[in-house]
Structure 1
Amino acid sequence: TGKEELYKTMTDASVLAEGCHRGVRNSYEQLLEEVKSLANVAQVINQTAENVSDMKIHVGDGVNEIILNIENSARLQMKDFNTTMNKMFGDVALTILESQNGGLINLSTNIKQELSQFMKQIGNTSMNQGTSRDLQEQTDIIESRSEQIIGLIGKLEENFNKQQE
């Protein structure tokens, strides 16, 4: 009859509406969870950006400190070299003057000894200068790598800023 059909149609519509309502509610809950996840991702990205900026500052400071230490070390080595050379020449001159009163053999023996020590000192100094050159090369390599790291950090910041827009 008509009433039964109407009742059946109403029941079917009610079941459909209830299913639709459940689907909307489930979709809303999923969407809400995804929004929360995205908020967490945004927070992680922001924290990462802050950490990258801090790291960039620390790397720059470290590079500057390394350069300063190497420059100071080179200055000290050159000062020591100059002092040693002046002392060696002074010692040679003093030995020559003192030896004028002695025989020619004593003079030549002393000169040989002083020159031998002098040559050893020059050899040691040359090795120190080689070390200074090695330190400078290492400094140049560190500076180059630091510039590359700073460049990469800059790119990360650009990408991060683009993603925030």
Structure 2
Amino acid sequence: MKSINEIKSFVEEQEIFIMPEVRLIGIEGRCKLNAGNKEVLDLWQKFGEINDKYPAVLDSLPRAIPNALLGWTGDCPKGSDTYSYFISVACPSGTTVPDGYSYRDIPASYVAKGEYGDDIGGVINKFTPNGFITCYTDLGWNAELYLDDEEKDPPKNNCSPFRWLVPCVKVDKMKNNMVLNNKV
């Protein structure tokens, strides 16, 4: 199985990767569920303004996923009407965080990279028959994956302009019982 640093643009098939522990570095905001995309779009605008002003900051960081940005979503406990949206780059664990930026440490896991424009349900439906399932109890996040080359030359039109990156766990079948294996 490939490491997450081997993700390539324009590969039109779903793939499962091993993701080591990573540190996401970027800007974060709280958003309301079912409130439309205004808060997320405002956060992207703020990110663009910061990145235009200080373009070398994120570009200088080492990357766990080369040439990519993430729109990470998480921190939505059961019963909550808000979630965190974090525009970031995925860096190796322990990377120093530049002044003015936030970070999150994400544990190692398997991750499924969806096809360009696919919805999250489509991604999940494709990796489940291959022995992987989501586990939002332990890995309560997912992320929009924006690959630089695909941003410049989208492989498809009239769809979501990104891929989903979804953490998953391998299902080991033992004596007719399903045992989750979150070890990578």
> Which structure has more helix as a fraction of its residues?
1
Q: TM-score range by the shorter chain?
A: under 0.3
> Which structure has more strand as a fraction of its residues?
2
Structure number with larger C-alpha Rg: 1
